Amino acid sequence: MKAAFYQNNRRRLADALPDGSLALFFSGFAPRKRADEDYPFFSDRNFVYLTGIARDAGLILAVEKDGGTYTEKLFLLPADLLKERWTGRRTKADEATALSGITEIAFTADFEPYWKAASDRVSTVWLDIDETRSLRDWTEAHRFAARIKEEHPGLTVKNSRPILAGLRTIKADCEIDAMREAVRITGEGIRAMMQGVRDGMKEYEIKALYDNALVKNGCLEPGFPSIISAGQNNFCIHYYAYEGTAHDGDMVLCDVGACYDFVGCDISRGFPLNGRFTDRQKKLYEAAYATSQHLFGLIRPGYPMEEVDREAKRFCYTYLHDYGLVDSFENIGKLMWHGGSHHVGFDTHDIVISPEKVAPGMVFCVDIGIYCEEWGIGFRVEDNCLVTPDGCENLGRNVPRTIEEIEEEMRKG
């Protein structure tokens, strides 16, 4: 992403703020893992969306609006050669300006005097508060809100997260370009698994095939923890153990997504370990694939967002009922365990304003999962849907999807 992207995001944020506002965003800190070890750090996603700075803990962005205009200031950690030897190089002022387009740079030690002055001239402080978090999982925004309540009871605190969610609902062209590259890399990883899987492999060995393909494409970590399972482990929707063994006759399930330039994708496939679908596997896969194709033929601007999930279940039911696996639509939850759609972008489950209708520039998953414990078969077919002015585009259409494409890919191994 270029600095202009982040500048535009901050401008749109400022446009949504009334005069007398101060919006603060914190990059955050890594939680402690054990002893003196922290978990790997990545900045708060909204902070990244506004600055393009992803690897520096403890930073603060301030956007202040008054008289119809706004100012912005970024507070960085100062250089510390000793600490940087241990924890890595910190972003310097000129680098931060190049990444974000912010020209007014200060250090975190300067924030307190800045805050003291700002608290006297603004009436409302906007903080990015995730209301789903419990007390034990508070962020810097939660803690700062509590501080304001105690020290400045006359100030109004409002949540900026709905504003950011609105901004992130419609993707910019550069975000879509980044997602296309993330999908391409993800496809390379899925092909590597299809070609390399063997009877008796551990799930972590299958995952290694995927991880290696990502690294070869310059993606050092996925957009979210990869879900890769086989056989009965496919019946755990969010499975991260990788401890099972894949056997002949199993379906392998992968729910994976690379991240490119901070934008991720989310693609799922199911494929037979031995490279040939059984009759039962074929039936269920055809039901999921046909449902996915049906939805990609329906989705267009103006289509009701809630109908994506409903129509997925309605359409797939006709197949599953014909197979004798479900006796009524009311019991579809016996085989379809989760919803059929979520937005993707800077987060895998992207924060968006839940739209009533589909609009151009939205990107969300069409996710068709079938879990038939009776037959011992569970998998999902999931792709990313880009809404265009007159329809939609399946960004993952080139990742093997049909039975014929999957079997052909597996014969290459």
Per-residue pLDDT at 213: 98
Q: What is the pLDDT of residues 114-156, one digit of tens each?
A: 999 999 999 999 999 999 998 888 999 999 999 999 999 999 9
382-388 average pLDDT score: 98
DSSP assignment string, 70-88: EEEEEEEPPP-HHHHHHH-
Q: What is the pLDDT of residues 208-253, one digit of tens each?
A: 999 999 999 999 999 999 999 999 999 999 999 999 999 999 999 9
Mean pLDDT in the chain?
Answer: 97
Per-residue pLDDT at 242: 98
Per-residue pLDDT at 354: 85
Q: What is the pLDDT of residues 87-120, one digit of tens each?
A: 899 999 999 999 999 999 999 999 999 999 999 9
Fold for 170-411, please state it. Creatine Amidinohydrolase (3.90.230)
Q: How many CA atoms lie within 13 A of 167 on its CB side?
A: 23
Q: How confident is the model at residue 53 (pLDDT cuts 50, 70, 90)?
A: very high
192-198 average pLDDT score: 98
**Contact in structure between 343 and 166 (CB atoms under 8 Å):** no
Please give the CATH superfamily to which domain 3-168 belongs: Creatinase/prolidase N-terminal domain (3.40.350.10)
H helices within 228-305, ranges in order? 279-298
Q: 101-115: string of b/e by CB count within 10 Å (b at 16+)?
A: bbeebbeeeebeebb
Q: What is the pLDDT of residues 283-295, one digit of tens each?
A: 999 999 999 999 9
Is the per-residue pLDDT at 264 higher than 90? yes
Per-residue pLDDT at 122: 98
Listed as own residue / partner, the contacts of 348-355 with beta carbons closer than 8 Å and 24 or more positions apart are 348/223, 348/224, 348/257, 348/264, 348/266, 350/168, 351/45, 351/46, 351/161, 351/164, 351/165, 351/168, 352/165, 352/166, 352/168, 352/169, 353/162, 353/165, 353/166, 353/169, 354/305, 355/169, 355/305
Domain layout of the chain by residue ranges: 3-168, 170-411
